[in-house]
Amino acid sequence: MTLISRLAPLLLAALLSACATTTPSGEAPAAGTPPAPEVAQAVQQAAAAAEPAVATAPVRQLAAELLEDNLRPGTKIDLDEPAAQVDLWGRVRQGFQMQDLDDDWVRKAEAWYSARPDYVERMTTRGSRYLFHIVEEVEKRGMPTELALLPFIESAFVTHAVSSAKATGMWQFMPATGRDFDLKQNIFRDDRRDVLASTRAALDYLGRLHKMFGDWHLALAAYNWGQGNVSKAIARNTRLGLPTDYASLKMPDETRYYVPKLQAVKNIVLAPDRFALSLPPVANHPYFLSVKIERDIDVALAAELAGLNLETFQQFNPQMNKPVILAAATEQVLLPYDQASAFAENLARHGGPLATWTAWVVPKTMSPAEAAKRHGMAESALREINRIPPKMLVKRGSTLLVPRAPHVTADVSERLADTASLSLSPDAPARRRLTLKAGKADTVASVAARYKVSAAQVAQWNNVGRSSRFKAGQAIVVYTAAKATATAAKRSTASKSKTAARTSKPATSTRKVANKDRGGKGRNSVASAAR
């Protein structure tokens, strides 16, 4: 609220009072005497200034109820207080507790960062958005503030980073480890990318590892390499009578370099000038607020209400996997201070629909084309938004994101928001496993041609080369469609019968050969068929 809007009602009252009690000559005005023009103008201006304040009071009250500092719930935030103006880097330095490393690995990391000032600037500028919240969480747990620097080496503070091993987010959680620490991962969201949830989980995990190993360097090694591997390395050194500290353990180079990289970042924070680097100032107050989400809302609309472009909005809320935020799964979004207030007020004023997408559970296995037709959308759009690759069917019970019909008012349920999954199956005829006995002339190529499959498939199914020849009577495995199975069997039987007829001499002999064919190889050409 601006100063003029706060003072307008008082100014209006004072001006009206002045009009009622005095005239320019000091005498009381006659009843019905209009006020002087300049006074009337001032009254109108004051009233106009006061009007928006009165009109928006309910909106601001509603907006205030949506805003919260998740680190200090119920506490009033004053960005002008002296403590908020202190550079956060000083607070980080004061919290350093870990024993320093000083070796060639540290020198290597220092040289790497020193040679890349632009990279360091981008990384630290990105990190400045989240650093206050991480430091707060670290200090709450009595942990060393070196841990607040760990995302610098894990992800360079890129919240949507994905490693080649599928570790994701600012703290680089593997899928299974993320689930162990209650980080939800489904088609609608991936909490490994959530700034607050992943920070909580990472510090919980590091705390557990420190309790297990009793040493922060070993805990960090386990965070990178796995606690089982560190335990085995310690046990090995113990058996050999060797020291079991971080520097003495046998480990992969990636893990050997891991803690020295953190040490190098620590050294840079302690004395950036020594490395010809600079750190952007970071204010000692929250960079963002939490805004409660009470209804499903499109991500694009949320960004618009906050006055942010979509990319910036997603930097603060990277856990969203789809273009809609589900209230049942996402209690809050994070926004910078000014944008948080604007979002809350604009949301309170918004009168139209908030979400144009909803979740739909597929009632039976169907093609994406059929699913798209049911919801009046293009098949390509349904495939893209639900990430369905070509030649795949959507299995019964899967959840798809589809347009929200105008008559639908209910938001997606909490159960569906938490358990939604997408299961696919190949869009191809069902195949059967066939076991047959090879004839004298059967090769990989001839069997493939007979059953209309590729030679590479036959070779793979039977663990032989593409140019291989089968021994007579050898068991051959083939997977093929049911129709093709029947056709191939008939073709095989007919071919053998014709061969027998051509080579037979007397009629009695022909009958014997035919009977032998029906009871022998003809029967064994399709020895078994199982679904």
Cα distances (Å, whole numbers) of residue 510 to 499, 505, 514, 522: 11, 7, 6, 15
Helix (H, G, I), strand (E, B) or coil at 68: strand
Residues near 515 by beta carbon (within 8 Å), at least 6 away in sequence = none
Token output for 91: 């607070």
Residues near 312 by beta carbon (within 8 Å), at least 6 away in sequence = 303
d(CA 399, CA 402): 9
**Strand 431-437 with 297-298, pairing:** unpaired
E strand or H helix at 334, and its extent? strand 332-336
- Selecting among 68, 154, 254, 414, the annotated active-site residue is 154
The C-alpha angle with vertex 28 and arms to 26 and 31, in degrees rounded to 5, equals: 150
Token output for 391: 């030649």
E strand or H helix at 503, and its extent? helix 482-503
Residues near 94 by beta carbon (within 8 Å), at least 6 away in sequence = 145
- Which DSSP string corresponds to 249-298? S---HHHHHHHHHHHHHHHHHH-GGGGT------BSS-SEEEEE--S-EE
Cα distances (Å, whole numbers) of residue 86 to 26, 90, 98, 127: 55, 8, 24, 17
E strand or H helix at 234, and its extent? helix 227-239
Residues near 70 by beta carbon (within 8 Å), at least 6 away in sequence = 196, 289, 290, 332
Which position has the token pair 């068929």?
Answer: 529
- Tell me phi and psi for residue 511, to 5 degrees: -60, -40
* Residue 418 C-alpha from the chain's centroid: 14
**Strand 332-336 with 399-403, pairing:** unpaired
Token output for 436: 């047959």
Token output for 353: 């629909």
38 is annotated as an active-site residue: no
- Which residue numbers are catalytic? 154
